[in-house]
Structure 1
Amino acid sequence: MKRKIYIRMTLVSVIMMLFTMSVTVFTFYNLFSEQVMEDLKTHVHILNTTEAVLQYVEKDFDPKIDNLRITVIDTKGDVLYDSNADIGTMDNHVNRPEIKEALEHGHGEATRKSDTLDKTTYYYAEKLENGQILRVAKEVVSVWQFIFKILPILIMELLLVAIICFIVSKLLAKRLVEPIEQLAQNMDEEEVTETYEEIKPFLNKIHSQHKALKKSANMRQDFTANVSHELKTPLASISGYAELIETGMAKEEDICRFAGEIHKSSLRLLSLINDIIELSELDVMNGQMSKTKVSLTDEAVNCVEILQMNAEKHNVNISLDKCEDGCVIDANQDMIQEIIYNLCDNAIRYNKPEGNVWVSVFREKDNIILQVRDNGIGIPEKEQQHIFERFYRVDKARSKKTGGTGLGLAIVKHIAEQHNAEIKIESYINEGTTISVIF
């Protein structure tokens, strides 16, 4: 990672430097070209102030001093004088851009490759008082020749900057990655290592995700251990009773009772497996489920009717307070049935003889609430925060006696989360428990 960072930082720095150098070279060349043209104007103005220009340039002016080319042209475009060429071999200049411009406007300028000298030359021409045109030209190297001349300096500068950028980028990359490396080495620490303010949220996110993954891994490990333990009990019971019957050690009068115990353990095992499968499905669902309009009242009515016989078996009375308008919600119907069934089943299991279970569905402001209340044994306050954990039982002996798997409330919690619902619990020892699911 560090290698990629400093290589890319160096590459970006070098590219930016090349871009800057290119812009600088072309900018300076343009400034240089403008200065050459200004110098040519100055020379023309100096010559223009000299009387008898033609005689002066023929006798006294040495153009080699400033590498200048002086040309005098008459009004017809014929060359009267040229300091660098034989005028007898030169064609008419009346169509030259700078000459045409000077004849029309008094002065003109141009930059081109000279047909006579085959070189790139800057021209400035000015119309004299006698109507003749005085033109001054100067050869200037092209931008590529200009770059070629300073190329060794540019290469040395580029290499020097590249080396500096490489070293600095390496140091910066090391400092940038250092907090991440420290975090990787101390992932189990409670606090994130002190680092730059800009990347602190990123490191906090990684740290929190690690803690969440670790917690999830521990929960899965505990869940696996609990599943193994819970499955082992009914399987051991089934195996033991079956072995007694198989070996003939069971008396004739005991066979029927042993078969009943096998049947009871197999039902418990089946119930446990179904709950485990359901929890596993809820774990990977992440809100991706089919929803429809569900009447919470209708589902509560059906559930109470189904559990009526079970309640009578436990000597418990179950009743329903219905919502008048049906209290319709967007939900998965099977899951809603599961929530109501598990809450009511728990209220029946952990109740007292002649106890009561009150199921109610009602509206409260913008919420629709499913509430299951009982006057049973209640839940100790310190246990209330744990009852929705998997395989957690307040009264383990009573739970196994009544056939509870310890997963019912865990399923209720997961289904509520899938529906963005909130669960509230209120419970007092020997007074009863109220659990509300707020949609």
Structure 2
Amino acid sequence: MTSISVAMMLLTMCITVVVFHGLFSEQVMEDLKTHVHILKSTEAVLEYVEKDFDPQIDNLRITVIDSDGKVIYDSNADIGTMENHGNRPEVHEALEKGSGEAKRKSSTLDKTTYYYAEKMSDGRVIRVAKEVLSIWQFCFNILPILMAEMLLTVVICLVASKLLAKRLVEPIEQMAQHLDDDQVLESYEEIQPFLDKIHSQHKALKKSANMRQDFTANVSHELKTPLAAISGYAELIETGIAKEKDIKHFASEIHKSANRLLSLINDIIELSQLDVMDGNMEKAPVDLSDEAQNCVEMLQMHAEKHKITLLAKDIEKNCIIYGNQNMIQEILYNLCDNAIRYNKPKGHVWVSVFEKDSKIILRVKDDGIGIAPKEQERIFERFYRVDKARSKKTGGTGLGLAIVKHIAEQHNAEIVIKSEIGQGTVISIEFTKIEKDA
């Protein structure tokens, strides 16, 4: 702020000096013309020539030159020592055109002399001259005033900038000290959007940190359970405490726990990869109709094992979306797997793919246990289970729908859920449609 002010003052001074010096020069020349006209009209110059004396008019130098260039009178010099002035620009111009003007700078005196000459009726030339300070001397004369003004400006700028800076950062400092406070901080209009953004980002970071902390705690707990089971059964077999008829049962439990552990690890790895991916994935046109049909066929045995009827219903052809094929397959698998696991005996699962309002909709519907309204917003949280006992019994990890939500966000797809307790659940994912040859 101070530097800009000083720079602008210097620039203003330079422009002012140049402009005023130019105006001053024009005024000096006009004054010289006026003096010549007065001398001519009053014929006072004839008296100076005849009586040979110095008039002392405004420090003017008056010179009278004959038509052949010979100086016949000069108020400031001895005419006997003066050379012929016929070749002087202002004199030469006056003899030819009636009047002439010129200015010459003296390098020794650092002054500029202005000349104006005019031809009289008798053929002689009257010339007046006046010395004027150079532009540098003009600057030097106003330098003390400029320095005082600059010093005052620097002091004012330093004080003002300090107060202004304090005023500018005060809301930011307050926010930094009260990031967790939801109370609206007082600030000026221009910075309010910035403060709101920082506050919201802080909340998001804090929420993310809490989620990661909860996730770590849940992971530890979820991994500990199958590991404890594996370790316990293995110890019974190793120490010989287990009877031979129980070894097969213990081995089966170890196998189940190991599979559960592998499923947990795979889902955790996949979620971690989705977290760092942030939209940076390979995408290509994917036929959602074909993928849905393949998923239904692949999970038939899994559904039969749980005594569930899995059906492909209303799957329209050529429903093309733009996405990652592996991730789309993961969405289909997790939605269908959840619908099978959280279902009633002899229940049904229907998978549909269709186009509606320029959207490609994947819908998985079941007639299972349903989800309470207060729990519908939480089912996509990591390790959240509607029925914890059923989830562990069926081998669910509690991460399937969290993975679905992540993948849907990566594809800018919207998830819509409708469910009633005891009536079943419908989960729809709405994708943006593209043409098949896109």
Q: 1:228: which partner in 2?
A: 220
Residues 379-388 or 99-108, more deviating: 99-108
Instruction: State yes or no: 1:106 paired with 2:118.
Output: no
Residues 223 and 61 (structure 1), Cα distance of their counterparts in 2 relative to 1, 3 Å cut? farther
Q: 2:29: which partner in 1?
A: 37
**Structure 1, gaps ≥5 residues long:** 1-8
Equivalent pairs, count: 431
After superposition, give the CA deviation of every residue in 1:204-255 in whole Å (9 maximum; x if it has no partner). 1111111111111111111111111111111111121122222222222222
Match of 2:204 among 204, 212, 236: 212
Residues 154 and 166 (structure 1), Cα distance of their counterparts in 2 relative to 1, 3 Å cut? same
Match of 2:372 among 373, 376, 380: 380
After superposition, give the CA deviation of every residue in 1:82-138 in whole Å (9 maximum; x if it has no partner). 222333443443443333443444333222225998842122222222333222111
TM-aligned CA deviation for residue 319 of structure 1: 0.9
Q: 1:75: which partner in 2?
A: 67
SS in 2 for 1:173: helix
Match of 1:147 among 139, 152, 159: 139
**Structure 2, gaps ≥5 residues long:** 432-438
Residues 326 and 311 (structure 1), Cα distance of their counterparts in 2 relative to 1, 3 Å cut? same
Residues 59 and 267 (structure 1), Cα distance of their counterparts in 2 relative to 1, 3 Å cut? farther
Q: 1:170: which partner in 2?
A: 162
Residues 427-436 or 157-166, more deviating: 157-166
Instruction: State yes or no: 1:358 paired with 2:350.
Output: yes
Question: Equivalent residues in 2 for 1:216-295 (5 A)?
Answer: 216-295=208-287
Question: 1:369·1:438 contact (CA, 8 Å) conserved in 2?
Answer: yes
Question: 1:272·1:405 contact (CA, 8 Å) conserved in 2?
Answer: yes
Residues 62-71 or 156-165, more deviating: 62-71
Residues 239-248 or 311-320, more deviating: 239-248
Q: Distance in 1 between matches of 2:424 and 2:110?
A: 109
Instruction: State yes or no: 1:434 paired with 2:426.
Output: yes
Q: Distance in 2 between matches of 1:182 and 1:427?
A: 46
Residues 250 and 77 (structure 1), Cα distance of their counterparts in 2 relative to 1, 3 Å cut? farther
Question: 2:90·2:101 contact (CA, 8 Å) conserved in 1?
Answer: yes
TM-aligned CA deviation for residue 144 of structure 1: 1.1
Q: 1:422: which partner in 2?
A: 414
TM-aligned CA deviation for residue 374 of structure 1: 0.7
TM-aligned CA deviation for residue 410 of structure 1: 0.7
Q: CA RMSD in A?
A: 2.0
Identity %: 74
Q: Distance in 1 between matches of 2:377 and 2:30?
A: 89
Match of 2:39 among 30, 35, 47: 47
Q: 1:398: which partner in 2?
A: 390
State the TM-score, normalizing by the size of structure 2.
Answer: 0.93
Q: Distance in 2 between matches of 1:402 and 1:185?
A: 49
Residues 306-315 or 43-52, more deviating: 43-52
For 1:244, give the aligned amino acid: L
Residues 34 and 338 (structure 1), Cα distance of their counterparts in 2 relative to 1, 3 Å cut? same
Residues 118 and 95 (structure 1), Cα distance of their counterparts in 2 relative to 1, 3 Å cut? farther
SS in 1 for 2:13: helix
